[in-house]
């Protein structure tokens, strides 16, 4: 439903003029009372700003009387209602808190008379008011009567309203001469005022008044606390870096006041961290949709029976604002240009007129003027003076302290921030451990390093994320972004790209047995270690020594055997320190290892290595080593038998190949007597080959029997072996 925009019509001006007669007295009286009540309001004394978009506010003071009015913006009222805390620091208590019910614009509009909702301007409203008693005031006279209607006047007179002012007496008044209209029907006037509120979105700008009802006349020493939505505070940092002098870190907080009220001499606190918070509608009534059972009503009534007769007898508007778009020349620029031209003409010869026809030789040539003296350059401020001034002039105006899992900065002096203004509060000024280093963010050979600031945040403090500007040896060096740093944490802040380095990385993996854990029931358990060694090499072409850090991702199932010097941890990532000499090469190693246990029923490579280490252990009695020695000996015997069997298998294979060759040659010989001698030779070779193949097969069988016997003996020993 489209609502009328009565605020733009002549009626709006007429209603403002009629307010003195009582049409809108209730609204104006409320506003005047609001202004009077502001003298009794509690002033804001404390503001705490969080990083989750809310602020905590405390009001403190003494209240005379039995009520306290708090004025809250409509967009803040829901947060205030769910967090309002009222404390009586002296005697007394709060009996109740009341506030007007907020009703949605669509519901308000639905309750208005249709004629009021559809009225358009003064003429439209007067047409709606047909039959209503009104007083129409012009410059000359007032006419009170009932509206008969609005009609077009004769000629160019425009619209005229006709009133029945007395019995059988009509008065016609030109609408364009109407200065004021007073409506005597209070219900209709109230509905009209409500329509104006809706059309102006009254709930978006009119404060909501919360009335706190108090027991007794007071005075009441009260503290009222609540939260509502505010912009988050944002930090910005400066870092002053000098070689072998650490880092001086300074920080400012940018605070915005858009609360609708000045903060005068308040205690300001800024919290690093984000406690949970949310929005929840409490001010506007919540209506539950009820089921509509109208369909259960009878839809039709019973039709009467047909008559008994003997014979049957054989149907938005879119507004465009157009501008000329013509560019405007700035007068100051044009004047400056003309002035410059005039100056050029006047500077050459005073009047600017050229002299023609006079001999120039008779005039004395002017001597060239001496060049203007250059003022001496002011000496630059040396580094030591800058350092001392920095420490002296930038002391923090806030004190930090831990608050549970959060960290809070409390202003050391009262803070004043006007409504709609922002302020910078100096919150950090401290010396921290840190250095100007180079950072490789991966092990890739083509990785470009970054010049970075290494900062170690001391325990007992935390810093919120924000931009940081770096000055190295007193000179601007770049900008970076400082992530959130918890107490005791270390971070790298890249601020410039670097060159002159080349990185290479080499990995070496190795698995070795550690010890024989146990042997029982034919199962042997061995503990093994897997070791990964990464060697990092950095070559430098720079003319000075450098400190580089390389980011490495650790494997989750492995541990560092020894942390390299200067290493920085960050979860599953580590930053390895590499010191690189000028035009030289730096190298470091990082070793990860993992220990695993494996169980076997046979003597594999890992078990044999564990047996060798077991026999070398001088703390174990020789009697206990006997079965292990026997197993090792049997394993060596098994290996020798296996080697012989492999030789026999290889020999038999060679004989079988040779036999196939001889058979092919025999098949290719002719049947004539000429080939008899050659045929006999080949047959003899085939017979010898067959005998040798049979001997090889016999040897393989004998070796298989021997191997089976050794295996059976080893299996029996493994089952009998007991090591715990």
Q: Is the pLDDT of residue 644 over 80?
A: yes
The pLDDT-based confidence of 257 (bands split at 50, 70, 90) is very high
For residue 244, the model assigns a pLDDT of 76
Who's near 487: CB < 8 A, 6+ residues apart? Answer: 402, 407, 457, 458, 459, 460, 461, 462
Q: Tell me the pLDDT band of 688, cut-offs 50, 70 and 90.
A: very high
Nearest to 714 by CA among 637, 634, 607, 641: 634
pLDDT in tens, 162-192: 988 887 788 888 888 888 888 888 777 776 7
| CATH placement of domain 622-720 | 1.10.287
| Weakest-pLDDT range from 229-238, 251-260, 391-400, 492-501 | 391-400
Phi first, then psi, for residue 122 (nearest 5°) are -65, -45
pLDDT at residue 642 in the model: 94
Q: Average pLDDT, stretch 120-131?
A: 79
User: Quick one: which of 538, 550, 552 has its CA closest to 450?
Assistant: 550
HSE of 379, CA atoms in CB hemisphere, 13 A: 4
Listing DSSP states for 101-139 in one string gives: PP--HHHHHHHS-HHHHT--HHHHHHHHTBT-EEEEE-S
In the chain, residues under CATH classification 2.60.40 are: 502-603
The continuous run of DSSP H or E covering 238 comes out as strand 234-241
Residues 135, 180: Cα–Cα separation, whole Å: 8
Residue keyed to tokens 């090792």: 632
Residue 298 DSSP SS3: coil
CB atoms within 10 A of CB 436: 20
Sign of CA dihedral 152, 157, 163, 165: negative
Q: What is the mean pLDDT of residues 365-379?
A: 64
Closest CA to 410 of 421, 423, 397, 419: 397
CA atoms in the 13 A half-sphere facing the CB of 711: 11
Query: DSSP string spanning 657-705?
Result: HHHHHHHHHHHHS-SSGGGHHHHHHHHHHHHHHHHHHHHHHHHHHHHHH
pLDDT level of residue 113 (50, 70, 90 thresholds):
low
Buried b / exposed e along 29-50 (16+ C-beta atoms within 10 A):
eeeeeeeebeeebbebbbbbbb
Model pLDDT, residue 157: 61
Longest dimension (CA), the chain: 164
Q: How far apart are the first and last CA of the chain?
A: 89
Spell out the residues 6+ positions from residue 408 whose beta carbon is closer than 8 angstroms to its own: 48, 269, 270, 271, 272, 400, 401, 402
For residue 301, the model assigns a pLDDT of 67
Specify whether the CB–CB gap between 525 and 614 falls below 8 A.
no
The Cα 233–Cα 45 span in angstroms is: 19
Q: Which H or E element spans position 444?
A: none
Q: Containing H/E element for 480?
A: strand 475-482
Q: What is the DSSP letter of 305?
A: P
Q: Which two tokens stand for residue 304?
A: 């009467």
Instruction: For residue range 26-36, list pLDDT tens digits in order.
Output: 333 222 334 33
pLDDT at 395: 61
Identify whether the C-beta of residue 622 lies closer than 8 Å to the C-beta of residue 630. Answer: no
- Please give the pLDDT value at position 101: 76
Confidence (pLDDT) at 367 = 61
Contact status, residue 526 vs residue 600, Cβ threshold 8 Å: yes
The boundaries of every CATH 1.10.287 domain in the chain are 622-720
Mean pLDDT of the 546-562 span: 88
Q: What angle do CA 485, 486, 492 make, to 5 degrees?
A: 30
**pLDDT-based confidence at 577, cuts 50/70/90?**
very high
Query: Residue 667's pLDDT band (boundaries 50, 70, 90)?
Result: confident
Beta bridge partners of 87: 223
Residue 149 forms beta bridges with which residues? 162
pLDDT tens profile 579-629: 999 999 999 999 999 988 889 999 988 888 889 888 888 888 888 889 999
Q: What is the mean pLDDT of residues 114-139?
A: 77
Spatial contact of 163 and 74, defined as CB atoms under 8 Å apart: no
The model's pLDDT over 205-217, given as tens digits with 9 standing for 90+, comes to 567 888 889 888 8
pLDDT confidence of residue 655:
93
- How many beta carbons lie within 10 A of that of residue 616, not counting itself? 9
pLDDT for residue 195 = 63
Instruction: Give 324's pLDDT tier (boundaries 50, 70, 90).
Output: very low
> Is the N-terminal amide bond of 219 cis, ω within 30° of 0?
yes
Please answer whether residues 86 and 233 qualify as being in contact, where contact means their C-beta atoms are separated by less than 8 angstroms: no
Structure token digits, residue 471? 């000055």
Which helix (H) or strand (E) segment holds residue 164: the answer is strand 159-166
pTM over 0.85: no
Q: Give, as one character, the DSSP assignment of residue 358.
A: S
> 113 versus 349: which is more confidently predicted?
113
Give the whole-angstrom CA distance, residue 66 versus residue 54: 31
Q: How many residues comprise the chain? A: 724
d(CA 490, CA 434): 9
Least confident of 151-165, 493-507, 564-578: 151-165
Torsion angle (degrees, nearest 10) of CA 72, 75, 77, 78? -170
What is the CATH code for 502-603? 2.60.40
Residues 6+ apart with CB under 8 A from 710: 634, 637, 638, 641
Angle of the 605-616 helix axis to the 622-668 helix axis, nearest 10: 140
pLDDT at 413: 87
Q: How far apart are CA 246 and CA 240, in angstroms?
A: 9
**Measured distance CA(20)–CA(135) in Å, rounded:** 14
CA distance linking residue 64 with residue 685, whole number of Å: 133
pLDDT for residue 691: 93
- pLDDT, tens digit (0-9, with 9 covering 90-100), for 74-107: 888 888 888 899 888 888 888 888 888 765 444 4
What integer is the mean pLDDT of 198-207? 53
Q: What is the overall mean pLDDT for the chain?
A: 78
Residue 121, pLDDT score? 72
3 state SS of 633: helix
Q: What is the DSSP letter of 442?
A: S
Q: Which of 569, 245, 575, 237 is nearest to 435 (CA)?
A: 245
């Amino acid at each position: 439903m489209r609502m009328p925009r009565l605020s733009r019509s002549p009626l709006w001006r007429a209603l403002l003029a009629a307010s003195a007669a009582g049409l809108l007295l209730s609204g104006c009286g409320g506003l005047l009372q609001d202004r009077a009540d502001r003298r009794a309001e509690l002033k804001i004394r404390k503001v705490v700003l969080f990083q989750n978009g809310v602020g905590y506010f405390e009001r403190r003071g003494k209240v005379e009387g039995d009520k306290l009015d708090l004025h809250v913006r409509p967009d803040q009222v829901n947060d205030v209602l769910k967090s309002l805390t009222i404390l009586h620091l002296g005697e007394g208590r709060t009996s109740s808190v009341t506030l007007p019910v907020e009703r949605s614009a669509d519901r308000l509009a639905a309750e208005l008379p249709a004629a009021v909702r559809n009225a358009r301007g003064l003429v439209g409203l007067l047409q709606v008011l047909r039959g209503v008693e009104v007083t129409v005031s012009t410059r000359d006279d007032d006419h009170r009567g009932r509206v008969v209607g609005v009609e077009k006047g004769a000629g160019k007179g425009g619209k005229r309203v006709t009133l029945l002012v007395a019995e059988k007496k009509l008065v016609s008044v030109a609408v364009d001469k109407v200065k004021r209209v007073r409506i005597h029907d209070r219900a209709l006037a109230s509905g009209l005022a409500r329509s104006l509120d809706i059309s102006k979105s009254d709930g978006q700008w009119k404060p909501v008044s919360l009335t706190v009802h108090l027991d007794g006349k007071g005075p009441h020493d009260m503290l009222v606390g609540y939260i509502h939505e505010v912009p988050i505070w944002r930090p910005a940092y400066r870092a002053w870096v000098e070689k072998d002098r650490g880092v001086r870190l300074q920080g400012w907080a940018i605070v915005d006041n858009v609360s609708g009220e000045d903060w005068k001499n308040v205690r300001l606190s800024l919290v690093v961290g984000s406690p949970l918070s949310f929005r929840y509608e409490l001010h506007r009534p919540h209506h539950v949709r009820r089921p509509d059972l109208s369909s259960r009503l009878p839809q039709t009534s019973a039709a009467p029976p047909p008559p008994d007769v003997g014979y049957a007898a054989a149907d938005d508007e879119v507004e465009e604002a157009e501008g000329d778009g013509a560019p405007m020349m700035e007068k100051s620029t044009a004047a400056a240009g003309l002035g410059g031209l005039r100056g050029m003409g006047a500077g050459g010869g005073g009047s600017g007129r050229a002299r023609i026809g006079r001999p120039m030789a008779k005039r004395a040539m002017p001597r060239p003027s001496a060049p203007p003296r250059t003022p001496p350059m002011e000496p630059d401020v040396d580094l030591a003076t800058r350092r001392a001034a920095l420490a002296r002039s930038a002391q923090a105006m806030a004190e930090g302290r831990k608050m549970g899992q959060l960290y809070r900065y409390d202003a050391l002096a009262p803070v004043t921030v006007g409504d709609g203004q922002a302020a910078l509060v100096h919150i950090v000024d401290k010396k921290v451990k840190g250095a100007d280093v180079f950072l490789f963010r991966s092990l890739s050979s083509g990785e470009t390093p970054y010049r970075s600031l290494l900062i170690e945040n001391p325990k007992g403090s935390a810093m919120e994320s924000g931009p940081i500007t770096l000055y190295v040896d007193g000179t601007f060096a770049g900008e970076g972004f400082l992530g959130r740093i918890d107490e005791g944490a270390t971070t790298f802040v890249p601020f410039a790209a670097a060159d002159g380095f080349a990185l290479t990385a080499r990995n070496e993996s190795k698995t070795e047995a550690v010890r024989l854990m146990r042997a029982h029931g034919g199962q042997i358990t061995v503990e093994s270690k897997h070791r990964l060694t990464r060697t990092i090499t950095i070559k430098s072409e720079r003319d000075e020594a450098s400190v580089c850090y390389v980011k490495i991702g650790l494997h989750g199932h492995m541990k560092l055997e020894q942390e390299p010097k200067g290493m920085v941890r960050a979860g599953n990532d580590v930053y390895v320190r590499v010191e690189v000499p000028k035009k030289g090469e730096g190298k470091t190693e990082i070793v990860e290892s993992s220990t695993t246990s494996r169980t076997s029923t046979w003597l594999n490579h890992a078990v044999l290595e564990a047996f060798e280490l077991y026999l070398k252990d001088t703390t174990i009695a020789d009697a206990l080593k006997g079965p292990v020695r026997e197993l090792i000996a049997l394993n060596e015997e098994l290996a020798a038998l296996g080697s012989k069997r492999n030789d026999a298998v290889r020999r038999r294979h060679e004989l079988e190949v040779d036999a196939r060759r001889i058979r092919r040659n025999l098949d290719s010989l002719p049947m004539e007597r000429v080939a008899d001698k050659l045929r006999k030779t080949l047959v003899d070779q085939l017979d010898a080959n067959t005998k040798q193949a049979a001997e090889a097969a016999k040897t393989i069988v004998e070796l298989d029997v021997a191997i089976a016997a050794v295996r059976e003996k080893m299996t029996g020993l493994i089952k009998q072996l007991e090591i715990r």
